[in-house]
Chain A
Amino acid sequence: MAIPKYVGTETEFGIQVVGPTDVNPVLASSLVVGAYRSATDDVRWDHTDEHPLRDARGYAEPDAHEPPSDDELGLANTVLTNGARFYVDHAHPEYSSPECSNARDAVIWDKAGERILEDAAARAAVTLPAGSRVLIHKNNTDGKGAAYGYHENYLVPRGIPFPRLVRELTPFFVTRLLYVGAGRVGNEFALDDVPFQLSQRADFFEVEVGLETTLKRPIINTRDEPHADPERYRRLHVINGDANLCEVATFLKVGTTMLVLDMIEDDALPPPPVLREPVADFHRVSHDLTCRVALRTDDGDTVTPLAVQWHYLEAAKRYCKDRDLDPVTADVLSRWEAVLTTAEEDPRRLAGTVDWATKLELLEGYRDRHGLAWGDAKLAMVDLQYHDVRRDKGLYNRLVARGKVDRLVAESEVQAAITSPPEDTRAYFRGTCLAKFRSHIVAAGWDSLIFDTGRDALQRVPMMDPGRGTKAHVGDLLDRVTTPAELLDALTG
């Protein structure tokens, strides 16, 4: 029986200051994060158990492109009461969601990140000269050669050999662009016949497997930094996905991946087709709006992206057939099937469900009305503004307001998640301690909190299991204690 696949998502947002003065993106990002943080908040990030250069293939590789950590540069960082980390990474404001136990929660806390950025940017603008605006986009490219990330993190048992993950996940990742793609005007290869493609990010991938994340991006990333007991777990760091606005897209991106990982762990996945050129295929799938482009397999045959996805879905249905399914997994299965069925008929009918098709419909309507050629800057503007996180100006958000996009969670759940952590992961302990004892917490990390209780030594509470520290485990205790010293005495006593 597969272990729970705790999941968290990371978003590096695009940032642009418009106004009378030039503000460089690192400073702008710091202003945004700083504006959201209270003046007295000096909780640092605990890097003790972080090893971003450790490789899942069993060796460490120096990476000249990894800049010094943000703390070394004195950049803004904060850890939120919802269990998330909000900080500056690679000249972008980054929101790393709290650990979630299921795909629906992942949608809620991912969406809460958009609201946090919307609020933080508005607060930051007030600190700049009059007339300045700070615009935040949940996108992955500026359309001029720069890409920035959206990462998913899944807890998987260390017992699964890494080469098996590579073999069984690669065809899945290459073809899930059908619902993961956020849509993009243009391409990186100056191809005239690709005016629009499924993915923001696919063109930036250059290798099949690797440790790097900022250059030579790999479809399968080997960063081996579990933020959990390294003997038992690894954290699969998935860097090939787009940042999604559509809730159904985020839901499927995370939910289908969790299911595929469960099947791999339980030996329930029949061997998927082996793609002969996964990297070129990743670009091909993104460039093909029919979802039927022929991909060559190693047996000399060809397969379509849709057929590959059906292979995984059929396996998942068999895998789930005799199980007592939780409602979220059941919903993942039915929405996955609905998306593939619609894509079989006409992929463009996915408008209102997934981002690329929603954006494409908008672009086509706008293009027709104004008689614009694909190269027109207005269309690039529509593409960009689709991702604007402001609810009154972002085009995705305007579509939501008009009821044109399927929502999956209630806005009240998203609002609550801005300040509250998930209750069934260790994020509950992190977030609740920060809400209750922030001034006594010196540093926080994914797998630890460091307290200053006024005693001689600082006390570090390790949280090496993402499934411990839940409301069920520590809710009563956290309600009861009135000082951090009481809490630590209870935990260590």
Chain B
Amino acid sequence: MSDGGQVKKGGASREEAEEQVEATTKTTEDSKELLDDVDELLDEIDDVLEENAEEFVKNYVQKGGQ
């Protein structure tokens, strides 16, 4: 990310710069939360997924329907 460059660009006032830094930090936190969330979801899939996937998938045979 080019945060540093953005902060300095155009001689922004100190306040603006602080705001931007804050915003950037927030975005990083958001994406971390998002990643944690995905991790939790994938943990959950590992928990509920049929244990012997290979055998289950092999045995999953349906009769043709409409």
Cβ contacts A59-89/B at 8 Å (1 or 0 each): 0000000000000000000000000000001
Selected contact of A148 from candidates B48, B56, B66, CB within 8 Å: B66
Contact between B64 and A148 (Cβ–Cβ < 8 Å)?
yes
Which residues of A have CB within 8 Å of B64? 90, 145-148, 214-215
Given contacts A142-B60, A381-B49, A381-B57, contact A90 B66 (CB under 8 A): yes
| Contact of A16 with B59 in the complex, beta carbons under 8 Å | yes
Within 8 A of A (CB), among B45-60: 45, 48-50, 53-54, 56-60
Q: Select one of B41, B44, B58, B63 contacting A25, CB under 8 A.
A: B63
Q: Which of B48, B50, B57, B59 contacts A398 (CB 8 A)?
A: B48
State which size class the interface on A falls in. 35 or more
Judge whether A4 is part of the interface by a CB distance below 8 angstroms: no
Find residues 15-46 in chain B having any chain A CB closer than 8 Å to their own CB.
37-38, 41-42, 44-45
Rounded to whole angstroms, the CA-CA distance of A90 and B38 in the bound complex is: 39
CB contact under 8 A between A213 and B60, given known A380-B53, A393-B48, A404-B41: no
The segment out of A34-42, A361-369, A445-453, A458-466 that lies at the interface is A361-369
Bound Cα distance from A382 to B45, whole angstroms:
8
Set of chain A residues within 8 Å of B61, measured between Cβ atoms: 142, 144, 146
Chain A residues with CB below 8 A from B65, complex form: 12, 89-92, 146-149, 214
Q: Which residues of the partner chain B approach A392 to less than 8 Å between Cβ atoms?
A: 48
A residues in contact with B37, CB < 8 Å: 402
Q: Please state if B48 and A16 are interface contacts (CB–CB under 8 Å).
A: no
Q: Are A89 and B48 in contact (CB under 8 A)?
A: no
Asked if B2 lies at the interface with its beta carbon under 8 angstroms from chain A, I say no
Is the beta-carbon distance between A365 and B62 smaller than 8 angstroms?
no
Which residues of A have CB within 8 Å of B49?
378, 381-382, 385, 395
Q: Write out the residue numbers on chain A whose beta carbons fall within 8 Å of the beta carbon of B48.
A: 385, 392-393, 395, 398
CA distance A18 to B60 in the complex (A): 10
Q: Assess whether B38 is in contact with A377, with CB atoms less than 8 Å apart.
A: no
Interface contact A380-B57, CB-CB below 8 Å: yes
Residues on B with beta carbons closer than 8 Å to the beta carbon of A89: 65-66
Cβ-defined partner of A384 (8 Å) among B54, B57, B66: B57
Chain B contacts of A147 at CB under 8 A? 64-65
The answer to whether B57 touches A12, judged by C-beta atoms less than 8 angstroms apart, is: no
A399, closest chain B residue (CB): B41
Q: Does A14 contact B (CB under 8 A)?
A: yes
Residues of A within 8 A of B56 (CB): 18, 381, 384
Is B66 in contact with A214, judged by CB distance below 8 angstroms?
yes
Cα of A105 to Cα of B33 in the assembled complex, Å: 36
A151 touches B41 (CB 8 A): no
**In the complex, chain B residues whose CB is within 8 Å of the CB of A91:** 62-63, 65
Cα–Cα distance between A366 and B56 once the two chains are bound (Å): 18
| Known pairs A377-B57, A378-B53; A148 contacts B42 (CB<8 A) | no
Interface pair B60/A16, CB less than 8 Å apart: yes
Measured CB to CB, the nearest residue on chain B to A362 is B45
Which of A's residues lie within 8 Å of B, judged by CB?
Answer: 12, 14-16, 18, 25-26, 89-92, 141-149, 151, 213-215, 239, 362, 365-366, 369, 377-378, 380-382, 384-385, 392-393, 395, 398-399, 402, 404
- List 11 contacting pairs A-B, 8 Å CB cutoff, sorted by A: A25-B62, A89-B66, A144-B61, A146-B64, A214-B66, A366-B42, A366-B45, A377-B54, A384-B57, A398-B44, A399-B41
